[in-house]
Amino acid sequence: MRRIFIATIPFIFSSSALSETTPCHYSDSIVHGPFKNQLIRNSEIYFSESQEKHYPIYMIASIKNNGQCEKEIVIDKYDYAGGPPIIESLFFYKIGHKINVIAIISWNINSRGLGTYGKGYQVYAYENGKHGLIGNYLINRNPDTSGMEGYQEGKPVHFKLKTAEDVKTYIDRHLNHP
């Protein structure tokens, strides 16, 4: 059990909601999206390549004015954890009484000498805060929202939140109950 927990620590703490404002240049390197942002009026959300070695993918909110990018906000940075981050899904869903933007990120893991290989997963959620989008601790600090699909030390392991539908079902059962 200890090894499973240790393996998931990088996923739990791999990013933090940043809300850094930058000039409009990330739209030149979009790898997933853009999507209409349901949390910030006149904006889009997308994932962009960064020039930062340890955080190759950023989640960006692009604020528009008359259809043109006015500014970009770095919502989060996703680290290199055995491999570059892969955006599996982005969607909007209500947690409690607030709409959240939810991202499912994965990393390929290959430590065959240890019998550990497959994909590591982490689910991230962001909601409106006083100064922009912030991480939702109900998801981001929840141990159920990170895990691995594949083999860990030669034993099969399965992660149950690999798709948007899986995450929505989890939220409804565990967080949105009356």
pLDDT tens-digit series, residues 137-149: 999 999 999 999 9
- Predicted local confidence at residue 19, as pLDDT: 55
Question: In angstroms, what CA-CA distances link 163 with 21, 72, 122, 153?
Answer: 30, 27, 11, 25
In sequence order, the 6+-apart residues with CB closer than 8 A to the CB of 20 are: 73, 74
pLDDT averaged over every residue in the chain: 88
| pTM, two decimal places | 0.85
Instruction: State how beta strands 132-135 and 146-152 pair.
Output: unpaired
Phi first, then psi, for residue 96 (nearest 5°) are: 65, -125
pLDDT tens-digit series, residues 26-67: 888 999 999 999 998 999 999 999 989 899 999 999 999 988
Q: Quick check: 110 and 95 in contact, CB under 8 A?
A: no
Residue 16 has pLDDT above 80, yes or no: no
Confidence of residue 165 (pLDDT cuts 50, 70, 90): very high
CB atoms within 10 A of CB 28: 8
Distance CA 108, CA 44 (A): 28
